[in-house]
Structure formats: C-alpha cells, structure tokens
C-alpha cells in the first residue's frame, strides 16, 4: 500500500532540518510578536467598524438636512414671483427700504 502519512522519524528529521536551517535561526518565531500583531489587527478592525458606523449615522443626518433644505428651496422658489410683484409697487420700497435688488 501507499504510505501517505509520514512516520515519526520523518517528522523528527523534518523538524531537526528546520531547526538547523540558517533562516530559522536568524528569524526565530516570537509568539509575543505574533499575538501582539493579532491583537493590533483585531483592534484596528473594531476601530474601522466603529468609524464606518459613525460615518453612516452622519450621512443619514446629512440626508435629512438636504431633504429639508430642498423643501425650503421649493417654498422660496414659489414665493419669488410674489416678492417680484410686491417690489413692482413703488410705495413698498419707500416704506420698507430697498429690498428689491433680487431679480
């Protein structure tokens, strides 16, 4: 039969070869570094999620402000002909001052 699983001596030889290699000796795995980078990554993810949620809430508020300003501007647009008609009357400008510079 074909032996797919390596036996214990092969695993030990592989580990010994890895330990003796120069790159492993120079760059030993520091578990503190691994765990600290994992924690930093998780914290950055939490910070990014909270900033995204905050941005969405502000965008929702801005959408409400834009909707209200659109309603106000449509009301002002409807009132401009009335203001122009009032400004055509000469007594209005004498009584209330010069406000008819809007045209």
For the stretch 18-67, pLDDT in tens is 666 666 556 666 778 888 899 999 999 999 999 999 999 999 999 999 99
Residue 57 lies in a domain: yes
The count of domains in the chain is 1
Decide if 87 contacts 99 (C-beta within 8 A): yes
Is this prediction's pTM over 0.85?
no
Residue 103 lies in a domain: yes
Residue 91 lies in a domain: yes
Residue 86 lies in a domain: yes
Q: Which domain holds residue 82?
A: 53-103
């Amino acid at each position: 039969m074909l032996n797919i699983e390596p036996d214990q001596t092969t695993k030990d030889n592989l580990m010994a070869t890895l330990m003796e290699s120069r790159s492993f000796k120079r760059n030993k795995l520091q578990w503190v570094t691994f765990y600290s980078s994992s924690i930093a990554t998780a914290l950055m993810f939490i910070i990014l999620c909270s900033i995204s949620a905050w941005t969405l809430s502000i965008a929702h508020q801005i959408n409400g402000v834009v909707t209200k300003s659109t309603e106000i501007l449509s009301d002002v647009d409807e009132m401009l002909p009335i203001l122009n008609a009032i400004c055509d009357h000469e007594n209005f400008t004498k009584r209330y001052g010069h406000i008819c510079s809007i045209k």
